[in-house]
Structure 1
Amino acid sequence: MEFRCVHCGSEVKTLFVQYSPGNIRLMKCDNCKAVADEYIECEITIVLIDLILHKRKAYRHVLYNVLNRNTVDAEMMMEVLLGNFAFFGVLLLMKRLFMKSFSQVTSNKDIFLAILVSSYFKLFVMAMMVWEFPASVLFIIDIFVLSSNAMALTVLQQATMTGGIGMCLGAHAAKVVANHTLEFLLVRVL
């Protein structure tokens, strides 16, 4: 795997040498003579803050020195993309099928925007990087996101709450099925 210096972007052979568990020495870049990646010793929240501040060093750390583009992270990206594609695909299909019951025709762009805006509860997942929460919190956040999505669709389509909930549950079910299918296929391939 190719590592990069977070300061100058030059390739480095290794980022650190581990002498024993918890005892490492950070390596220096041959080009700029600075420590190649000091973020290795930082908490994830520091990296996240620097990403929010658009620090080039933080982006180099994440893109070159953290993400293994060949295995796990590529699978994660595929899962996210396939899941969201299934979610929006089914949502738009249901809009087309049940449009007769809606009093207003809404563009696909409006639906994408409504889902994006109403998914604000996903911001609470970022708090999980700072404080420890049980895994059940993810389920609760998912329920809040779905109910918020249903309300946004209900308002946008001037439909009943039942119609909005039905569309969101159907789209979410398609997303879950797509993600589980992808996981099953990847396990069989790997």
Structure 2
Amino acid sequence: MNPNGEQVLDLRCVNCGWGIERLFVQYSPGNIRLMKCESCKVVADPYIECEFMILLIDLILHKTKAYRHLLYNMLNLEASDVKGILWKSSLINFLLDAYRFSILKGSKNDLDSSKGLLLTIWTCGEIFVNVTLGNLMFVSVVFLGTRILLNSTFAITRYRGILLAILVSSYFKLFLMAIMVWEFPLSVLFIIDIFVLSSNCVALQVLTQSRIAECFWVCFSAHMAKFFTIHWLPTLLSGSC
């Protein structure tokens, strides 16, 4: 917030990450002029005039410019509606994780079979508990790893922004919806996991301005903790009982 009580957005140049006051000047509807960055002296955000498909392709190619546009200029972390986006992203990711878990555990066949209402409720409850615990473990490791990754001189304490960046950069999970229509081998699930991991690394690097190797270990540790909690921990607990 500025002294006048107006909200100040944290806009960035997609080329160098330098903060910029405004991305464009609009003279009339449909007539705009893109602003240049004071640091690198080039157009701060050319994605403003690009189609969404171009942005999506660059996101798939893991270009840091596209992630800066997405996280800072498109889904600005200081925007007032960021909480709504965060809740919607969390819900979508949770549902996709639940569907992925049901595929690996063969729960889909159990739900389709006529073995009684109690078994269906038990299966749904198991999916809900396992996925919830897995995601809580994932978020905890991301926050802990990011806290360790960031030095005391780094001024990012917006864990909400970190969580939003991780959730939004997990857009590869949307390809799970194709499995609902067409049959794919289970190896496709792990290919999607690899793309999600790499996308999370780039998003965390853009947000924290850290080295890609450090971001990789944070994201890899979080994904491994989530995988262990969802798939291995229930088996270990049931075996020890």
TM bracket (short chain): 0.5 to 0.7
Gaps of 5+ in 1: 1-64
- Pick aligned residue for 1:144 from 164, 188, 195: 195
Q: Which amino acid aligns with 1:126?
A: M
Q: State the match for 2:127 in structure 1.
A: 76
Structure 1 residue aligned with 2:53: none
Aligned match of 1:175 in 226, 231, 236?
226
Secondary structure (helix, strand or coil) at the match of 2:150 reads: helix
For the residues of structure 1 that align with 2:215 and 2:203, how far apart are their CA atoms? 8
- 1:119 maps onto 2:204 in alignment: no
**Distance (Å, rounded) in 1 between the aligned partners of 2:212 and 2:124:** 37
In structure 2, the residue corresponding to 1:100 is in which secondary structure? coil
**Match of 1:152, as an amino acid?**
A
Could you tell me which residue of structure 2 aligns to residue 34 of structure 1? none
Amino acid at match of 1:184: L
* Largest Rg, 1 or 2: 1
**Letter aligned with residue 121 of structure 1:** F
**2:132 is equivalent to residue 109 of structure 1:** no
- State the shift of 1:185 in Å: 2.1
Question: Equivalents in 2 of 1:166, 1:117: separation in Å?
Answer: 19
Measured in 1, the distance between the counterparts of 2:163 and 2:118 equals 29
TM-score, length-scaled by structure 2: 0.48
**Post-superposition shift, 1:99?**
1.3
Matches of 1:162 and 1:101 in 2, distance apart? 19
- Aligned alpha-carbon RMSD (Å): 2.2
Report the number of matched residues: 125
Q: Secondary structure at the match of 2:121?
A: coil
Question: Which position in structure 2 is the counterpart of 1:50?
Answer: none
Question: 2:163 corresponds to which letter in structure 1?
Answer: F
Q: 1:96 to 1:67 in 2, by over 3 A?
A: farther
Residue type at the aligned position of 1:123: L
Q: Kindly indicate whether the alpha-carbon contact (under 8 Å) linking 1:102 and 1:158 is maintained by their aligned counterparts in 2.
A: no
Q: Which residue of 2 aligns with 1:42?
A: none
**Cα 1:188/1:109, change in 2 over 3 Å:** same
Q: Which residue matches 1:89?
A: 140
- The separation in 1 between residues aligned to 2:192 and 2:118, in whole angstroms, is 26
1:172 deviates by: 1.0
Segments of 4+ moved more than 3 angstroms: 65-70, 101-104, 186-189
Alignment partner, residue 207 of structure 2? 156
Alignment gaps of 5+ in structure 2? 1-115
After TM superposition, list the pairs within 5 Å mapping 1:6-25 onto structure 2. Answer: none
> CA offsets, 1:128-162, max 9 Å, x none?
11111111000000000010011100000001111
Match of 1:83, SS? helix
Partner Cα separation in structure 2 for residue 77 and residue 157 of structure 1: 32
Identity value in percent:
46
For the residues of structure 2 that align with 1:89 and 1:187, how far apart are their CA atoms? 26
Q: Deviations over 1:99-143 (max 9, x none)?
A: 118844141100110011101000000001111111100000000
